[in-house]
Structure 1
Amino acid sequence: MDVVDVWTGERASALQRAQRLTNEAFADRLGTAVRTVAKWNANPESQPGSELQQALDTLLYQAPDQVKARFSLLVETTDEASHPEASEGHRKRDTAEAERRITADPNIGAALDWVEREAGWASGTARNQVLDRLSALEPHSLRDRRFRRNRVDQHQLAEALATYYRDGRTGWGTYTAGIEDARRAVTSVFTSPDWLDLRCPLTPDHDQFALERTPAAYGHGLDEFTTEQAVQRIAETLEEDTRLVNAPLYRLLDADVGSGKLGGSFGMTEFVQYALTMDLLEGEMVDAIAEDRSTLPGQLPLRDHYLPDAAAVLDTRQRLCAGGPLALCAIARPGRGRRPADYVLLVQERGGHVLNASRRLAPIPKSFHEPLIDQREDTQLSATLQREMEEELFGREDVDNTISPQRSADPMHLSRLSEPMRWLTENDSDRQWLMECTGLGLNLVSGNYEFASLIVIHDEEFWQRFGGQVEANWESSKLQQYSSMDRVLLAELCADVAWSNEGLFAFLQGLRRLSELDSPRVDAPAIEWEIQQ
């Protein structure tokens, strides 16, 4: 092939491989940025601008015959693999069901509207772009990608992110921990010693975050590449029938935390904005690891755009920083048979239809921090955790905004609470149960803020009365219990690479704090955290 009608990212990447050039060398030959070449590798359907089209024509024309031969072979192979319908006479897939959901689902509509606003498109453009992408999607390719992603474990992801952000900041680093039997846990949670072991009761006297109604705007709008990726995410959401619900979210602006206190401020954002921007960073990184591609700065276009360095990670006011609390839940239960009296520790495996931490281990409850009714009052982390206990553990579907809109004036009113939550509310004493924040970190995966927390129910009566009613909701594919007295099994769990990074952070911090309570119900392994700079 000596002539190319239209250069795409796929064809440009084929020419790069035919030339056997690195991203840096190929960019130098074309007189463009390394980031541009990385975009072509990440987005095969993109089209370079007119000047680069001409530069690619020239580079192909001047190439030796053996390079042209390799290029022709690569293009023919990728065209057949990417577009089998062209050679087999297949029609594009029927998109009638997707069109129905686009019309009927207000959450998909909100996502399309947001893309059009940010991209400056005319009404209806995003819808047409999504349908075009959807008709070209190959379900088996998405399944294959999902299998590849599942093979990338938490340790690999944490190590790759630590390398990407190797510039660091003095006094800050990723949370790691030594487990007593020489095991070691690493995470992608960026934190500092001042943000750890907070021992902060989640009560109004200690949880003092404020709400800013008109926070400063932040940058990082959509460019051509990030717009394409947002459209692709919507198309894949429709294809895989992933649950996407738009809702107001708190975004962290400032944090002023220390031992026994939580302070700072939140602003507001929308979930679709998070889902179509920052939440894409994990998939990009995991795909690069799975395909054995470089994960260094300059090779990951989305991350280079939204979260390029440690300074950007820490500058939460100037970027979108969503997140929330997640808590290790420990419930006292009496001894039975050979098992002594202990706390049952609950760990979930996240389901495949959630956008966040899919198929990973996490404590339960795990939540995005969002208001239920009162935006100012619900800035308290305790409000989110109690709501999530109702939803994720006690079966309250009416507080799950992914199922139906909230219509109750006070969904957490005593008269509406589940039996287990009513018991906790009526027995609100530290002797019977408590909620604490054990640490704060910024997750390098998507830049999220993570409030590691601990929920401890000391009174055995709770498990005896309500243990049979504790059941995970649709977000979990499996719920597992561990004994706080099983030192060996807990040590193995601490080193399990199936965790999400934030889940492991919360579990380790929660288990450290549970051990500090000096209860005869706890025989946990020693955990010593370090900040890896």
Structure 2
Amino acid sequence: MAGLAWGGVVMRRAELATARKAAGYTQESLASALNVDRSTVIRWEAGDYAPLPYLRPKLARLLRQTPEQLRALIDGDPGSTPGTLSPDVEAACTWLDERLNWKPGTSARRVTARLPKTRRELPIRQARRARVSRTDVVAALRAYYGTDPDYSLYTAQFGGQARETSILTRPDWLDLNIPLNETTDGLALAPTAAKPTADPVPEAAIDRLAEVEAAGIRLTNEQTYRLLDVDIRDGVIRGAVDVTPFLEYALTLDLLETELLDALAAGKPIEPGSLPLRDRYLPSLASMVNPASRLCAGGVLALCAIARPAVPHGNADHLLLVQERSQLVVNAARQLAVIPKGFHQPLTDVYGDTSLRSTLIRELEEELFGRADLDNTVSAQRAALPMHPERLSKPLRSLLTNGGLWLECRGFGFNLVSGNYEFACLLTINHHDFWSHTAGDIEANWEVRGLRSFSSQQVKYMTQPDLLHTWNNEGLFAFSLGLSDFSPTADDSK
């Protein structure tokens, strides 16, 4: 099909390229996701050809566009206005209607009606939220919750610099050094299903979906593990989990962060009674440390350290990877974090995927080793065994075959921001041939705005005040605990 022409001149589809970049894709990665050649994407954006009809539904989903929006990008109809919401938000509206016993279409109409105002106000709202520092957040949470003799907020120490986080922990949850294997990684699916414990507040949920639509955030409703109980002792992680729809969390507990940021940006005092959603979902430290009494979603994250051999101008070291999160992610957008980082959730096997190790390896494959087929924000999982050895990426297959991959849990805590549970881990690759033979296959996915790397021998560059200021809380928690293995200047204060 010929490209768009105005006055006999073929016009480049600049907005199509902009949408691709906003969705986190390079021309090559988008081509791979669509199973076409990169030159095909280049020709689409150059205006030489248009995507064939059978490709358009998947292309629209990848670029987070409605069919009408994609048609406007391809056919160049500047006056076209989308008449429907994006597929993810449309599905979330259907779920919300069912959850609140509303008539079908009620949530979609309310979100659509709110969109013009949200699109006008969201950039200002985001700019104000970005000016609230992690220090401000921690101080506000301390004022709201007070103190407890058995728990404290984790404080990282870097060469005399103290950085307090919002992670509530205790001494026996730190410096664990628990290897993640079949005998120590003991989270298990609860024998009976737990009931929902977080009812959506209608107006707050509608506001959130309008923001998701306006900002282009990726949102799916895959099952997520909720924590019911945890017991960490004698070098073993035990506990019970159940599954909950991700929207159950995204439209309830996950709203606490923006509520807090908006209040701080407006200069409001933070105290019990001042934050309606927090008062409802997470009113006390007692509710924080009793996950069975509430909805407690969370995740697993790890500092990734890759051994490198000595070279003529330097000694052998470990390359430490850090990510800057994309603005399209639900969690920790535009902040620094360790990589991999992901919600603890099953891939295909609710019973068999409860281990922390399974989530870490899946996230390693997806976020660093190029397994786009594991990304449930793009398409539903169709493989019965997506982590079968024959489907693994070249880097992971090499590590599991030749050895050299070491995973251990370093710490555990609850994040006061949204009540999430956080398992902070260290992922070390020590195989002597990995860096020279396989490092070229490492590339971050759409969740990462930028990937940074540091030498383990240059910790001082990683702990500069301007960098430490931009970390999210759980990322700094895992970074500090993992970094203590590589530098005598990085230590932990309980």
With the length of structure 1 as denominator, give the TM-score of the two structures.
0.75
Query: Does the 8 Å contact 2:481/2:492 carry over to 1?
Result: no
- The reply to whether residue 319 of structure 1 matches residue 329 of structure 2 is no
- The reply to whether residue 449 of structure 1 matches residue 421 of structure 2 is yes
- The reply to whether residue 165 of structure 1 matches residue 137 of structure 2 is no
The aligned counterpart of 2:121 is 141
The aligned counterpart of 2:329 is 354
Give secondary structure in 2 for the equivalent of 1:130. Answer: helix
Cα distance, 1:402 vs structure 2 = 1.1
- The reply to whether residue 127 of structure 1 matches residue 105 of structure 2 is no
Cα distance, 1:524 vs structure 2 = 4.5
Match of 1:310 among 272, 285, 289: 285
Match of 1:113 among 76, 94, 105: 94
Give secondary structure in 1 for the equivalent of 2:385. Answer: coil
The aligned counterpart of 2:199 is 221
The aligned counterpart of 1:426 is 401
- The reply to whether residue 483 of structure 1 matches residue 463 of structure 2 is no
Query: Does the 8 Å contact 1:484/1:524 carry over to 2?
Result: no
C-alpha distance after superposition, 1:178-222 (max 9, x if no partner): 333x21011000111111111111101111111025333243424
State the one-letter code of the partner of 2:356.
L
Cα distance, 1:297 vs structure 2 = 1.5
State the one-letter code of the partner of 1:352.
Q
Distance 1:303 1:231 in 2: 17
Give secondary structure in 1 for the equivalent of 2:461. Answer: helix
Distance 2:488 2:370 in 1: 30
Cα distance, 1:115 vs structure 2 = 2.1
- The reply to whether residue 528 of structure 1 matches residue 488 of structure 2 is no
Query: Does the 8 Å contact 1:491/1:525 carry over to 2?
Result: no
The aligned counterpart of 2:445 is 473
Distance 1:215 1:95 in 2: 47
- The reply to whether residue 151 of structure 1 matches residue 131 of structure 2 is yes
Give secondary structure in 1 for the equivalent of 2:241. Answer: strand
- The reply to whether residue 364 of structure 1 matches residue 339 of structure 2 is yes
Change (3 A) 1:353 1:111: same
Distance 2:84 2:424 in 1: 40
Match of 2:188 among 205, 210, 226: 210
Identity of aligned residues (%): 45
State the one-letter code of the partner of 2:177.
R
Query: Does the 8 Å contact 1:452/1:506 carry over to 2?
Result: yes
Change (3 A) 1:129 1:213: farther
Match of 2:171 among 181, 186, 193: 193
Give secondary structure in 2 for the equivalent of 1:279. Answer: helix
Change (3 A) 1:265 1:495: same
Give secondary structure in 2 for the equivalent of 1:402. Answer: coil
For the pair shown, the structure with the greater C-alpha radius of gyration is 1
Query: Does the 8 Å contact 2:198/2:248 carry over to 1?
Result: no
Between 183-192 and 292-301, the greater mean CA deviation after superposition: 292-301
State the one-letter code of the partner of 2:102.
W
Distance 1:341 1:160 in 2: 43
The aligned counterpart of 2:35 is none
Query: Does the 8 Å contact 1:169/1:311 carry over to 2?
Result: no
State the one-letter code of the partner of 1:176.
T
Query: Does the 8 Å contact 1:157/1:286 carry over to 2?
Result: yes
With the length of structure 2 as denominator, give the TM-score of the two structures.
0.81
State the one-letter code of the partner of 2:126.
R
Query: Does the 8 Å contact 2:307/2:431 carry over to 1?
Result: yes
State the one-letter code of the partner of 1:152.
V
The aligned counterpart of 1:285 is 260
Q: Structure 1: which 5+ runs fail to align?
A: 1-93, 515-521
State the one-letter code of the partner of 1:247.
E
The aligned counterpart of 2:11 is none
State the one-letter code of the partner of 2:376.
N
The aligned counterpart of 1:235 is 210
The aligned counterpart of 1:99 is 84
Cα distance, 1:97 vs structure 2 = 2.1
Query: Does the 8 Å contact 1:349/1:360 carry over to 2?
Result: yes
Match of 1:502 among 457, 474, 480: 474
Distance 1:414 1:115 in 2: 38
Q: Structure 2: which 5+ runs fail to align?
A: 1-78
C-alpha distance after superposition, 1:263-308 (max 9, x if no partner): 0100110111111111111111111122221122211111111111
Distance 1:527 1:259 in 2: 23
- Aligned runs of 1:63-102 on 2, under 5 Å? 96-97=81-82, 99-101=84-86
Give secondary structure in 1 for the equivalent of 2:337. Answer: strand
